Structures are given as structure tokens and as C-alpha cells.
Amino acid sequence: MPIPADAKASNALFHPFYVPVAVFIGGTSGVGQGMVEAFARYVKGRAHIIIVGRNEYAASEIIGHFPKPAAGETSDWTHEFVPCDVSLMANVRAACALIRTKVERVNFLVLTAGYSSLVSTALTSEGLDLLLAMRYYYRFVFIQELLPLVQAAQALGQDAKVMSVLGAGLGSPKRPIDLDNLGNTVKERSGRIRVAIRSMMQAWGYTDAMMAHFATRNPAIAFTHIHPGAVHTPGLRIDLDGLLTPLSWLINLILPWLSVSQDQAAEHMLYALFTGERGLFIRDRYGDVISSLEFEAPVDLRDSNETSVLNGVPMTGYGASDLGVRRIMEQTEAVTRAQ
Ligand SMILES: NC(=O)c1ccc[n+]([C@@H]2O[C@H](COP(=O)([O-])OP(=O)(O)OC[C@H]3O[C@@H](n4cnc5c(N)ncnc54)[C@H](OP(=O)(O)O)[C@@H]3O)[C@@H](O)[C@H]2O)c1
């Protein structure tokens, strides 16, 4: 486990021979903000950094504090904001189309935007479970749409890395994904808290499955699903209502004392982003590898329904099965497809 000082020392070694292109979806707050700020510091501003989110004011404040390369040193850098409400997949596709007009490669695609609720069980206007849209589907669409740019970076011999910050390492053979309720819209949606918890937990296993899917198809790229642990951010809160409101007050009072700062978490997340060249990585809050798998060539997964086993290899903390990956991908591609 790298202590923050070790993670920082490791991150400080990041000196790419090229000007990196990094896209941070969710860089306007919390863990994503900590990551994009630290990234900009490590490259001394010499990068094309794109922050994606809704809050343009927060983005311009963050970008305003990035270091800027000295005049004459290099002109090959840009720091910019792309607006997008990721709850709708049409918005995500539009943002990706805009990003494709700005850059020809992406070295680092970091997905931290998220939303948690114990009481919200809405469906979006596109018919998706809102919690799954905000925690999982948007990540799939961003990766799918920007993958050619990540592949272009890899073809140039540069870093080519995709990271999803959510809930890695929580998969277990005792908790298989419910393949009869894909998208959490098949089974009856009664009991708000139960439905919300179902969505939030499904997002962890679906993200494992999605990252495994992309890793098996793109053996030369690193796909990481990581858990940030408890981090003191605006997103660290419980939103119970009604009679349970006092309980959420109490929990929300205690949570900050149990969490680390977003800057501290960001160092561990960046440590994980910079290390690990290719394959699938399931990582913990320190950036340490819980399990990982490299592929020599693209792999077609088959029909095994054994949870925490990928292509015949046991994977600690991995929440999907080979059949699960296939079924989840079929469902995801169907419901996120442009209408
Ligand atoms: N904090 C923790 O303790 C913790 C623990 C476990 C897992 N996580 C996971 O880590 C990730 C980051 O969490 P965090 O606590 O850092 O979150 P946060 O501080 O609440 O920040 C959330 C980010 O998501 C973006 N976002 C929210 N709704 C959006 C929307 N509709 N469209 C576009 N962007 C949207 C926000 O940007 P805009 O406001 O600009 O839209 C913001 O940048 C999340 O996936 C979360 O589930 C966090």
C-alpha cells in the first residue's frame, strides 16, 4: 500500500515524452477535481486537459488555478471545459462529438462523475434508471465513443488508459449480478430505498463487466475500475427522508471524520492511473491492485456464469461472470443506442 508520500513520489516521476491529452468527466468537484488539479501540477500545465461536467463556473475556477507553461517553452497546451449533463446519453454522444473535433487522441480518459441517492428511483426521459445512468451507462457511452481516440494514442506508443472511479473490489461469488433484472427496470420498482440500493450495487458489477469487455477487446490499453474509499467530497452524503431524516443527519455528521481529503484520494487514484500499462485492473482506495488480467490478443468471452472468474482466471473482487459480461453488454448497447 503506497502511503500518500509514496504515491506522490511515484506520481512525480510522470514525465511523458509527448504532450498528454486527458479528459476528466467529473473534474468539477470531489475526487475528479483533486485528480485533474494534481494531474495539471505534475505536467506543469503542459497538456491538453478537458474537464467535462455541468458546472462551468467551477471548471473555470479550477482551470484558472492550473500552472501554465512559460511563454516560449511550448505553445502545445490547452485547458478547457466541455459542458455535458451526463444523465442523458444523447448529451454524452454530443459531448463526445465535440471532443472529437478538438483532439485526435486521448491518453487518459478518467470517469468520476457520479450521483448517489437512497430515495431517488426516477427513470430518465430516455427510459433508463437514473442512478444507473449516472453511475454506469454514461461511462459506457463515453468509453465507446472516445475509444478510437484512446486507440490512436496507443498506436503512437503513448499512454492509453481508461479509469472509472466507482466501487471496485466489491464483487463476490456470493453476490452474482441479477441477469433477470438487467437495468433494474425488469423487476417491480416498489420500495424506493430497496430499488435505489439495487441500482447502486448493480453499478459496481456492471462497471466490472464493462471494463472487462473493453479490456478483452483492446489488449494494449489499460482499463481500471477503482474504489476511492470514503472521501470528504460534496458527494459523500446520505439523503434519507421522512422519519429517517434524523438518521441521515447523524450519518452525515460522522462521515467526514471517517474520510480522507479529495487531494489525498487523488494522489492514490493518479498513482493507479499512471501505473499498469495494459489489461484489466481492479484496484482499491490506495491504488493497489486487487486483481488484474492481461490479454495477449482480443478474447471472445464464452458462457461461464461463475462470478469473479474472467476467461477462466479467478479475479478477487471482480463482480461479473463471462456470461454476465456478454448479457450486460448486449443490454447496455441496446438501451444506450442513439434512437
Ligand atoms: N466520495 C466518496 O466517499 C465516494 C465513495 C465511493 C465511491 N465514490 C464514487 O467516486 C466518484 C466521485 O465521487 P465524488 O464524491 O468525488 O463526487 P462529487 O464531489 O459529488 O462530484 C460529482 C461530480 O459528478 C459530476 N456530475 C454530477 N451530476 C452530473 C451530471 N448530471 N452531469 C454531468 N456531471 C455530473 C459533478 O459535476 P457538475 O456538478 O459540474 O455536473 C461533479 O464533478 C463517484 O462515482 C462516486 O460514486 C465516492
Task: Give the DSSP letter of residue 243.
Answer: G
User: How do 309-310 and 313-314 pair as beta strands?
Assistant: antiparallel
Mean pLDDT along residues 51-79? 92
- For 109, residues 6+ apart whose C-beta sits below 8 A from its C-beta are 22, 23, 25, 142, 143, 146, 150, 161, 162, 163
Averaged pLDDT, 288-311: 97
Give the pLDDT score at 81. Answer: 98
User: Using CA atoms, how far apart are residues 102 and 20, in angstroms rounded to an integer?
Assistant: 14
Q: Which of 109, 112, 55 is nearest to 84 (CA)?
A: 55
The per-residue pLDDT for 256 is 87
- pLDDT tens-digit profile of 229-248? 999 999 888 787 888 888 88
For residue 55, which amino acid is it? N
Distance, CA 112 to ligand 1 centroid (Å)? Answer: 6
Residue 29 in contact with ligand 1 by CB distance below 6 A: yes
Cβ atoms of 313 and 325 closer than 8 Å: no
At 74, list the grid cell.
511550448
Q: Evaluate if residue 335 carries a pLDDT over 90.
A: yes
Residue nearest to atom 12 of ligand 1 (CA): 112
151 exposure class (CB count in 10 Å sphere: 0-12, 13-18, 19+): middle
Query: In which band, very low, low, confident or very high, does the pLDDT at 336 lie, cut at 50, 70 and 90?
Result: very high
Average pLDDT, the chain: 95
Confidence at residue 220, expressed as pLDDT on a 0 to 100 scale: 98
Query: So what's the pLDDT on residue 157?
Result: 97
pLDDT digit string (tens) for 300-320? 999 999 999 999 999 999 999
Contact 210, 167 (CB under 8 A): no
Q: How confident is the model at residue 31 (pLDDT cuts 50, 70, 90)?
A: very high
Query: What distance in angstroms lies between residue 117's CA and the mean position of ligand 1's atoms?
Result: 12
Residues of the chain with pLDDT > 70: what percent?
99
CA of 64 from ligand 1 middle (Å) equals 21
Which pLDDT does position 75 carry in this prediction? Answer: 75
**Amino acid 32: pLDDT:** 98
How confident is residue 19, by pLDDT bands cut at 50, 70 and 90? very high
Task: Examine the pLDDT at 2 and tell me if it is beyond 80.
Answer: no
- Can you give the pLDDT at residue 50? 98
Q: Residue 150 belongs to what domain range?
A: 4-336
In this structure, are residues 52 and 101 in contact, taking their beta carbons and an 8 Å threshold? no
φ/ψ of 281, rounded to 5, equals -125, 130
C-beta of 169 in contact with ligand 1 (< 6 A): no
Domain count, the chain: 1
User: Higher pLDDT residue, 75 or 234?
Assistant: 234
Q: What is the structure's pLDDT at 236?
A: 86
CB-ligand 1 contact for 116 (6 Å cutoff): yes
Q: Are 49 and 78 in contact (CB under 8 A)?
A: yes
172 pLDDT more than 80: yes
Mutation test of ligand 1: which of 57, 63, 89, 112 has the most ligand atoms closer than 8 Å to its C-beta? Answer: 112
Overall average pLDDT of the 53-67 stretch:
98
Do residues 306 and 331 make contact, with C-beta atoms less than 8 angstroms apart?
Answer: no
Q: How far is the CA of 111 from the centre of ligand 1 (A)?
A: 9
Q: Please work out whether the CB of residue 87 comes within 6 Å of at least one atom of ligand 1.
A: yes
CA dist 30 to 36, 170, 229, 231, 263, Å?
10, 22, 13, 8, 9
Cα angle 236, 3, 260 (rounded to 5 degrees) comes to: 15
- Which atom of ligand 1 is found nearest the CA of 167? 7
pLDDT at 73: 72
Tens digits of per-residue pLDDT, 109-149? 999 999 988 888 899 999 999 999 999 999 999 999 999 99
Q: Render pLDDT for 206-234 as a digit per residue (tens, 0 to 9).
A: 999 999 999 999 999 999 999 999 999 99
Give the model confidence (pLDDT) of 76-97 as tens digits.
899 999 999 999 999 999 999 9
CATH number of the structural domain spanning residue 23: 3.40.50.720
Q: What is the DSSP letter of 71?
A: T
Spell out a b/e string for 167-195, using b for 16 or more CB atoms within 10 Å of the CB, else e. bbbbbeeeebbeeeebbbbeeebeeeeeb
